[in-house]
Structure 1
Amino acid sequence: MSVLRIRLAAALAACVLLTACAGTPSKGVKPAAGATADESEIGALYARLGEAVKRYEGSAELADAGERERAAREGNAALDDLRAAAQRCQQLPGCENERFLSAFDGLLRRDAPIATVTGEGEKPVGEDAVPEAVGEGSPVVSDLPETARSITLLKGRPLAEIIAVNEPVKAALEEWLTQYRPNLIQAYINYQYMRQLMWPEYQKAGLPEALLFGFIAKESGGKVHAVSRSGASGPLQFMYATGLRFGLTTSDGFDQRFDAALSARANAAYLNEQLRVFNNDLELVLAAYNGGEGRMGRLAGGGRARFWDPSVYGALAPETREYVPMVLAAAWLFMHPERYNLEFPRIDTRLGSVVLPRSMSLSELSICFGQEGGSRDGWFRALRNLNPAYDHQAAIAPGTRLTVPLALETAFPKTCAEGPWQTLAAELHAATVPQVAMTTGPAARGSTASRGRARYTVRKGDTLAAIARKHRCGEVREIASLNRLRAPSYAIKPGQTLQIPICSR
């Protein structure tokens, strides 16, 4: 690790400490009456911030060109100016400290390859360790750029201090590291391709990325089109009513719960709302997300009791008792994989796009791309996650621009635009399976065919999941199949008549 990188982390630690102090005025010290923002000086500080960031990034380019001593001088000067500007920002009413934290965060995650000015192997006095004030120890300055960890603060406190690694969380860690390790790795891969869509929403809301990953790993495994038996949908598994409350509607037949960016925004808004309700008690908020905020409010007295209190923990449904530690454990592993002999794969998550020259489906693209770029499991999941509005089996019109991993943008002309793999994909996709009439004999007792069907007229505000719950027979996919509704949106409209399975007695 370079000395400049250590200095960058130290500067960040100082900035975090200043922010924490600024949020809690000393006793006996009152803000100046009538203090107003000096807009001109604040604007100059923001401009200074931008220049310092550019200068630091330029030092990385100098290092790449072999000018290591000059790179180190430029980088040190940029850091000094950035820290001085951050300190001045703390003193000015109306200056947004978050801009400086975000700048430090971005530079840390660049992992710029800058060398030290000192002799080989030497370390400047006093800079042989990173202050623990940042709260995350090694991950903040980790030499694992592929994980791209963000600053993990929650409401001004390091997430590592908030997560209690107690016995239930340790048991959840064991689950993730044994039978669910493949699920964790796949969730990480799926998330990495969606990261630039989802993480900015958390970043704007001031929430830690590790928590976002914890949700994704437990809720859907990073599968955008996941739908639970209860009707919770999308990568963050919103129920329809809760999604509506946070702006997830149906637009042109597309259920926005399946949109990665919009669902992350809604999830962040939910968390911030419930953190206020439950006095920033993260475990209670997670329990509310899973088991309902009304129930958690009654059990915890609006945040007066803790999640781990026997009176609360013992009264919860087993699903919620298991859910909270699993989310926390996944977040913890995202921050600290090296402590658990866990290695997340390195992935090129840059995105590109392709324009379809002919009518094609996402399934066809998955076939003709194969394992291009070394993807062991192919590209089906990434293509679906990045283009959630399209049914993977439905033909997409020529001229449509699709989002794809950058490796596929390069490969598209020779693999999918034309040629033998495109022809094969089209042939397989056009295959039809003979329809066999279902028997009505004893062997089929309990099937949809033998149970009979009722009719239901869709009303305003209905969802397929709500209709399935109301009739208590038939799952969402079964009703969708009966009425030829396409996944993932299962779009319905008021006045539409649906066939519903009738329970056999």
Structure 2
Amino acid sequence: MSVRLPLCRSLCVAVFTLLAGCAGAPGKTPASPSLNALYGQLDAASKGYENALQQAREGDDQASRKTLAAALDQLKQASAQCTGTPGCEPQRFYAVFDRLLRLKDGSAIGDEGLETAGESTSPAGQAVGAAGLPQVQRSVTLLHGQKLSELIAMNGPVKAALEMWLTQWRPNLMDAWVNYQYMRFEMWPQYQKADLPEAVLFGIMAKESGGKVHAVSRSGAAGPLQFMYATGLRFGLGSDSGFDTRFDPAEAARANAQYLNEQLRVFNNNLELTLAAYNGGEGRMRRLAGDRPGVSFYDPSVYDELSPETRDYVPAVLAAAWLFLHPQSYNLRFPKVDGRPGQVTLKRVASISELTICLGNAGDMPEGWFRTLRNLNPRLDPQMQQPIGTTLHLPRALEAAYASRCVDGPWPILAADLHDAVAPRPQVAAAAVVPSGGLRRYRVRAGDTLIGIVGKLRCSSVREVARVNHLHRHAIRAGQVLTVPGCR
């Protein structure tokens, strides 16, 4: 294990310099015994981190992690008492907390960090940690050899975004985590090949779509990573037998990784400028950065010229990435998800909607499996029944549930009955009714689905529209003109 001792010493010196400043400064009232005791706890927590680093140098990773966790708990307890202690400066705790978190992320341990995003799962389904991964897979915390923790400035905007993710956006963060875990086996390998951090992939996906594969923005950006149509074409995303591959998780991650690496080369590995280019356009960012390879995203000549959306977007992505790496340090616990991929061969005709009904809450999934099944089978219309023998992708943990719940028994019968039900059509004025047998034209818009179009027009049926337009598996594309049979 390689150890960067100069960096370790410099960070430790910085920590103890901060602590020394707590003892008293010229012109200030001497610290009270209670305040000195509180700063003593802070000092002890810092020494705990130093001990953890020494244990890591000696190759005792288990003891190092245990010492590290205890020191962090001690730091949290001491900081909690700061508010009620006269003269205590919370900012000193925040500064030390930030520095020690970076030590915990491995900034002083060479290539092997002491913490990743909890216990992760490899594409093969085996639990792994950062220290156990081969070098090519350590990009969970590395960006082209640089520590991700060293690239994220823990400044006001990022801290504000952390608060949003931990409060108002918390449900979105949790949904994004769960959705990502089921698609990880498709998306993460694309980032591994590109030598990019998994945390950045999660941060972008959490902010862009929350892991909803079929998300479409008002501007026409589509897919889990929200590619504009023209940008997607540049990186190989387009139409494949009528399917927009921007909605394919693996293809979207591949294209996203290629885009980020292209822009990282342009902006001298500046992650903040690269993310700003992804959101606000690379042309605009190149004009703002000019020929200044070291310019900061927060430089007024750059930051003040960006849209409010981009100014918020960059710290939001970085904050989500930081939480991916350090959830427990922010009192955040992501749910454990068995994301191992599986598949079933249909033994009876069924749609994704019907499977969602018959699977119910299998695997303790309160929200049901509709989103996951859609994400893993993005080419399928969720309302279209698939024939016997069709292969569907789903989490491996659901294979047994499908066999027990969706092949025989009452649940598939109920699901089919609900699926075949016809909603009553509202009464409309006679002048608005198209005569029986009449036809209308509808131009497909980005994000449309066949069932959505039929529901919007309140006439005909999905099967009838598919039959009249000779649609294969209900596939439609933006700009296509459909013939829609009138109300009968």
TM-score calculated relative to the size of structure 1: 0.64
Residue 132 (structure 1) aligns with: 108
Where do 1:65-214 residues align within 5 Å?
132-134=108-110, 137-140=113-116, 150=138, 151-214=140-203
Alpha-carbon spacing, 1:456–1:398, altered in 2? closer, same or farther (3 Å): closer
* Mapped pair 1:419 → 2:400: no
Tell me if structure 1 keeps the 8 A contact 2:107–2:150. no
Could you give the per-residue CA deviations for residues 134-174 of structure 1, whole angstroms, max 9, x where no partner exists? 37853149667779665411121000000111100000000
User: Which whole-Å CA distance do the structure 2 matches of 1:493 and 1:297 have between them?
Assistant: 31
Residue 330 (structure 1) aligns with: 320
Residue 78 (structure 2) aligns with: none
Percent sequence identity over aligned pairs? 57
* Mapped pair 1:271 → 2:286: no
State the SS of the aligned residue for 2:211. coil
Instruction: Give the AA of the match of 1:138.
Output: L
* Mapped pair 1:378 → 2:368: yes
Q: Deviation at 1:269? A: 0.3
Alpha-carbon spacing, 1:135–1:308, altered in 2? closer, same or farther (3 Å): farther
* Mapped pair 1:464 → 2:445: yes
Tell me if structure 2 keeps the 8 A contact 1:136–1:160. no
User: Which whole-Å CA distance do the structure 2 matches of 1:147 and 1:316 have between them?
Assistant: 40
Tell me if structure 2 keeps the 8 A contact 1:217–1:327. yes
Residue 481 (structure 2) aligns with: 497
Tell me if structure 2 keeps the 8 A contact 1:235–1:263. yes
User: Which whole-Å CA distance do the structure 2 matches of 1:377 and 1:345 have between them?
Assistant: 14
Residue 243 (structure 2) aligns with: 254
User: Which whole-Å CA distance do the structure 2 matches of 1:221 and 1:395 have between them?
Assistant: 27
Tell me if structure 2 keeps the 8 A contact 1:176–1:330. yes
What CA RMSD, in Å, does the superposition of the two structures yield over aligned residues? Answer: 3.6
User: Which whole-Å CA distance do the structure 1 matches of 2:474 and 2:198 have between them?
Assistant: 27
User: Which whole-Å CA distance do the structure 2 matches of 1:277 and 1:295 have between them?
Assistant: 13
Tell me if structure 1 keeps the 8 A contact 2:276–2:285. yes
Q: Deviation at 1:435? A: 2.0
Tell me if structure 1 keeps the 8 A contact 2:119–2:128. no
Residue 86 (structure 1) aligns with: none
Where do 1:279-358 residues align within 5 Å?
279-301=268-290, 304=293, 305-358=295-348
How many residue pairs get aligned? The number is: 357
Residue 74 (structure 1) aligns with: none
Q: Deviation at 1:132? A: 2.1
Regions of 4+ moved over 4 Å: 140-150, 437-441, 454-457, 477-486
Instruction: Give the AA of the match of 2:361.
Output: Q
User: Which whole-Å CA distance do the structure 2 matches of 1:413 and 1:227 have between them?
Assistant: 34
Alpha-carbon spacing, 1:302–1:380, altered in 2? closer, same or farther (3 Å): farther
Could you give the per-residue CA deviations for residues 224-246 of structure 1, whole angstroms, max 9, x where no partner exists? 11111111111000111111110
Alpha-carbon spacing, 1:169–1:346, altered in 2? closer, same or farther (3 Å): same
Tell me if structure 2 keeps the 8 A contact 1:480–1:490. no
User: Which whole-Å CA distance do the structure 1 matches of 2:111 and 2:297 have between them?
Assistant: 23
* Mapped pair 1:388 → 2:378: yes
Which deviates more from structure 2 when the two are superposed, residues 186-195 or residues 397-406? 397-406
Tell me if structure 1 keeps the 8 A contact 2:119–2:129. no
User: Which whole-Å CA distance do the structure 2 matches of 1:254 and 1:270 have between them?
Assistant: 22
Residue 435 (structure 2) aligns with: none
User: Which whole-Å CA distance do the structure 2 matches of 1:191 and 1:148 have between them?
Assistant: 18
State the SS of the aligned residue for 2:363. helix
Tell me if structure 2 keeps the 8 A contact 1:362–1:392. yes
Q: Deviation at 1:252? A: 1.1
Alpha-carbon spacing, 1:302–1:227, altered in 2? closer, same or farther (3 Å): farther
Alpha-carbon spacing, 1:397–1:148, altered in 2? closer, same or farther (3 Å): farther
Residue 204 (structure 2) aligns with: 215
User: Which whole-Å CA distance do the structure 2 matches of 1:131 and 1:299 have between them?
Assistant: 31
User: Which whole-Å CA distance do the structure 2 matches of 1:372 and 1:455 have between them?
Assistant: 42
Could you give the per-residue CA deviations for residues 339-377 of structure 1, whole angstroms, max 9, x where no partner exists? 100011111111211111122100000000001111122
State the SS of the aligned residue for 1:404. strand
Tell me if structure 2 keeps the 8 A contact 1:284–1:303. no
Instruction: Give the AA of the match of 1:133.
Output: I
Could you give the per-residue CA deviations for residues 436-474 of structure 1, whole angstroms, max 9, x where no partner exists? 255599xx9xxxxxxxxx9798xxxxx8349x9xxxxxx
User: Which whole-Å CA distance do the structure 2 matches of 1:406 and 1:399 have between them?
Assistant: 18
2:387 to 393, 397, 414: 397
Alpha-carbon spacing, 1:411–1:269, altered in 2? closer, same or farther (3 Å): same
Instruction: Give the AA of the match of 1:277.
Output: V
Tell me if structure 2 keeps the 8 A contact 1:277–1:302. no
Tell me if structure 2 keeps the 8 A contact 1:136–1:158. no
Residue 233 (structure 1) aligns with: 222
Alpha-carbon spacing, 1:349–1:391, altered in 2? closer, same or farther (3 Å): same
Alpha-carbon spacing, 1:342–1:493, altered in 2? closer, same or farther (3 Å): closer
User: Which whole-Å CA distance do the structure 1 matches of 2:454 and 2:273 have between them?
Assistant: 35
State the SS of the aligned residue for 1:409. helix
State the SS of the aligned residue for 1:436. coil
User: Which whole-Å CA distance do the structure 2 matches of 1:142 and 1:498 have between them?
Assistant: 49
User: Which whole-Å CA distance do the structure 2 matches of 1:179 and 1:147 have between them?
Assistant: 32
Tell me if structure 2 keeps the 8 A contact 1:224–1:235. yes
User: Which whole-Å CA distance do the structure 2 matches of 1:303 and 1:429 have between them?
Assistant: 59
State the SS of the aligned residue for 1:161. helix
Tell me if structure 2 keeps the 8 A contact 1:136–1:152. no
Instruction: Give the AA of the match of 1:221.
Output: G
